[in-house]
């Protein structure tokens, strides 16, 4: 069994207010939200870099499968709980670390966004430490991995986002639905409705029962804003070894050569099913500025080379 993933995009309508788009203030809230989440993510990247040993900690657990105690790497959820206990003021932990007091630096920060940036930071720092260890083991003097960055597209979990298409009617107008987002206005966190650009294409992918919708990411571009929904489904796939033992296995060979960019050959049961010649159609000449020479020019070039010799 395997898993297939695809991304379905739903664009927010940032057009003119008179035409049904979001007002300029709401557009600014999205940028403020992304900026503050980047700052919070940077806080936890710095925190985990200062406690790098914790990310490599091993914990003991009882394996039901093997009926014995074993060791495993501490999980992201366990790291999240540990990080919150040291950085967030709660009744159980009223005194966060003075140098890492998240509650004081980011007051009223929604817990769902906080946990989102913590998990992002864990992934970034773990990846950096792994690459750093590999670089050190290689003995190379150059190519040291750079420190992890803090920017990322915000993930919108259920407590920070809602979209109800059940009552939406796509036929009379493409703007009959709103996404409800929890955004930062620059002073407070508030819920706001954003018009979206619905389409039959999006609705078909959204309602497809074969695909499971994941929490979307808010992707901001200079002129657009969109919700990117990751969708996954389970697919039946044979293991590589089992596939190779299939007597009717279909194989695809790609041969790169000079005359053609590639020759693609599909075989099954020892016979060629199809052959495809991929040509550049002048692409290289357009890209690198090499004009196509006629036969007369080619003959002249050959004659000049012979005379030079």
Q: Is the pLDDT of residue 188 over 80?
A: yes
Residue 261: per-residue pLDDT: 81
Cα 174 to Cα 86, 96, 123, 171, 254: the distances in Å are: 48, 49, 38, 7, 44
How far, in Å, CA of 240 to CA of 237, rounded? 9
Q: For residue 66, what pLDDT band results from cuts at 50, 70 and 90?
A: confident
Count of CB atoms situated within 10 Å of the CB of 301? 11
Q: Are residues 246 and 105 in the same domain?
A: no
- Which residue would you say has higher pLDDT here, 231 or 16? 231
Residue 96: per-residue pLDDT: 95
Q: Are residues 47 and 84 in the same domain?
A: yes
Closest CA to 86 of 58, 56, 44: 44
Q: Are residues 66 and 164 in the same domain?
A: yes
Residue 270: per-residue pLDDT: 82
Residue 297 in 3-state DSSP?
helix
Task: Estimate the crossing angle of helix 111-138 against helix 76-87, to 10 degrees.
Answer: 110
- Mean pLDDT of the residues in the chain: 85
Lowest mean pLDDT among 138-147, 234-243, 264-273, 294-303: 294-303
Closest CA to 40 of 95, 106, 100, 89: 106
Q: What is the pLDDT of residues 102-152, one digit of tens each?
A: 999 999 999 999 999 999 999 999 999 999 999 999 999 899 999 999 999
Q: How large a percentage of the chain has pLDDT more than 70? A: 82
Which residues are paired to 276 by β-bridges? 264
Q: What is the mean pLDDT of residues 66-89?
A: 93
Q: Is the pLDDT of residue 191 over 50?
A: yes
Residue 115: per-residue pLDDT: 95
Q: What is the mean pLDDT of residues 201-205?
A: 91
Residue 296: per-residue pLDDT: 57
Total number of domains in the chain = 2
Q: Is the pLDDT of residue 292 over 60?
A: no
- Which residue would you say has higher pLDDT here, 213 or 298? 213
Q: What is the pLDDT of residues 219-232, one digit of tens each?
A: 999 889 999 999 99
Q: For residue 279, what pLDDT band results from cuts at 50, 70 and 90?
A: confident
Residue 309: per-residue pLDDT: 47
Last residue of a domain, one of 192, 213, 235: 235
- Please check whether residue 275 lies inside any domain of the structure: yes
Domain that holds residue 257: 240-291
Cα 103 to Cα 44, 148, 150, 159: the distances in Å are: 12, 23, 19, 19
Q: Are residues 157 and 199 in the same domain?
A: yes
How far, in Å, CA of 7 to CA of 226, rounded? 12
Angle at 259 between CA 298 and CA 256, to 5 degrees: 145
Q: Are residues 226 and 248 in the same domain?
A: no
Q: Are residues 221 and 246 in the same domain?
A: no
Q: Are residues 84 and 116 in the same domain?
A: yes
- Please check whether residue 161 lies inside any domain of the structure: yes
Q: Is the pLDDT of residue 268 over 60?
A: yes
């Amino acid at each position: 069994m395997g898993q297939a993933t695809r991304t379905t995009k739903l664009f927010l309508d940032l057009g003119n207010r008179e035409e049904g788009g979001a007002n300029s203030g709401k557009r600014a809230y999205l940028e403020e939200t992304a900026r503050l989440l980047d700052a919070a993510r940077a806080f936890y990247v710095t925190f985990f870099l200062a406690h790098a040993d914790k990310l490599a900690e091993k914990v003991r657990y009882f394996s039901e499968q093997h009926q014995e105690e074993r060791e495993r790497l501490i999980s992201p959820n366990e790291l999240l709980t540990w990080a919150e206990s040291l950085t967030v003021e709660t009744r159980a932990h009223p005194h966060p670390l003075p140098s890492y007091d998240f509650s004081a630096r980011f007051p009223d920060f929604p817990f769902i966004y906080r946990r989102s940036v913590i998990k992002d930071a864990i992934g970034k720092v773990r990846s950096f430490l792994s690459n750093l260890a590999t670089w050190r083991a290689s003995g190379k003097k150059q190519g040291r991995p750079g420190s992890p960055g803090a920017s990322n597209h915000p993930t919108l979990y259920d407590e920070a986002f809602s979209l109800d298409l059940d009552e939406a009617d796509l036929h009379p107008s493409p703007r009959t639905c709103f996404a409800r987002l929890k955004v930062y206005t620059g002073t407070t966190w508030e819920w706001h409705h954003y018009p979206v650009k619905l389409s039959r294409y999006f609705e078909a992918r959204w309602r497809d029962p074969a695909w499971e919708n994941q929490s979307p990411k808010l992707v901001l571009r200079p002129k657009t804003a969109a919700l990117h929904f990751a969708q996954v489904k389970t697919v039946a796939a044979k293991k590589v070894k089992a596939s190779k033992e299939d007597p009717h296995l279909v194989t695809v060979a790609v041969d790169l050569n000079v005359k053609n960019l590639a020759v693609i050959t599909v075989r099954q049961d020892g016979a060629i099913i199809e052959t495809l010649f991929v040509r550049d159609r002048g692409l290289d000449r357009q890209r690198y500025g090499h004009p196509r020479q006629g036969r007369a020019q080619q003959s002249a070039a050959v004659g000049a080379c012979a005379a030079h010799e």
